[in-house]
Amino acid sequence: VIRAVVDNVHWQMALDRKTTALKQLQGHMWRAAYATGLVKGEVFEDVVPAIRKWREAGMKVYIYSSGSVEAQKLLFGYSTEGDILELFDGHFDTKIGPKVESESYRRIAASIGCDTNNILFLTDVPREANAAEEADTHVAVVIRPGNAGLTDDEKSYYSLISSFTELFLPSST
């Protein structure tokens, strides 16, 4: 029975299935791994100082990830930079909608009480950038080690950054 369960889990993971049972199992595993210190959420060294600067300027910072809100909180609560959850005003996952659909970005804007054109969405996925742009949000594509490459058209079309220090945002106050 154990072998059959393990095989099923591997099969679901290989197919990138989003089943509730698999997500629950992964959540239990992640909680244990983060809590024991076996796993830490990797945060690039430019991220925390940039977010602190934005927040000091009165800006709000939200996370929208395909990972569950719980997974986001584990990643940022047990990060290589320590517990940085206080830097975020809220978290969104695909319960708000798929990241490749523009309506998801409109729902986020409505949820936080903000016009979409007052939002900057950072991503490394051109399809997400396209959906966010269709919702009238500002977009920058982040180029980091390990990200999928971009086509020449994508490189010339999108605003590209390789560090959060490259963003100069107006104060919200």
Sort residue 97 into left (φ over 0), alpha (ψ -120 to 50) or beta.
left
**What percentage of residues in the chain have a pLDDT greater than 90?**
76
Express each pLDDT in 83-121 by its tens digit: 999 999 999 998 999 999 999 999 999 999 999 999 999
pLDDT of 72: 92
pLDDT of 161: 96
- State the helix-helix crossing angle for 20-35 and 2-14, rounded to 10 degrees: 100
Express each pLDDT in 39-59 by its tens digit: 999 999 999 999 999 999 999
For range 146-170, the mean pLDDT: 91
Q: Which residues pair with 122 in a beta bridge?
A: 140
Which band of pLDDT confidence, cut at 50, 70 and 90, is reported for residue 171? Answer: low
Q: Answer yes or no: CATH 3.40.50.1000 is held by domain 46-166.
A: yes
Residue 171 CB neighbour total at 10 angstroms = 9
pLDDT of 27: 79
Q: Give yes or no for a contact between 77 and 127, defined as CB atoms under 8 angstroms apart.
A: no
Q: CA–CA separation, 156 vs 150, rounded Å?
A: 10
Strands (E), the chain: 62-64, 90-92, 120-123, 138-142, 160-161
Residue 12 CB neighbour total at 10 angstroms = 17
Structural domain spans, the chain? 1-36, 46-166
pLDDT of 91: 97
pLDDT at 17 over 90: no
**Residue in the structure block whose two tokens are 């809100």:** 69
Alpha helices in 36-101, H assignment, sequence order: 47-56, 69-77
Q: What is the mean pLDDT of the chain?
A: 92
Q: CA–CA separation, 10 vs 148, rounded Å?
A: 24
Strands 120-123 and 160-161: unpaired
The residue that leads in pLDDT, 156 or 17, is 156
Q: Quote the pTM value.
A: 0.84
Which band of pLDDT confidence, cut at 50, 70 and 90, is reported for residue 127? Answer: very high
Q: For residue 90, which phi and psi values (nearest 5 degrees)?
A: 175, 170
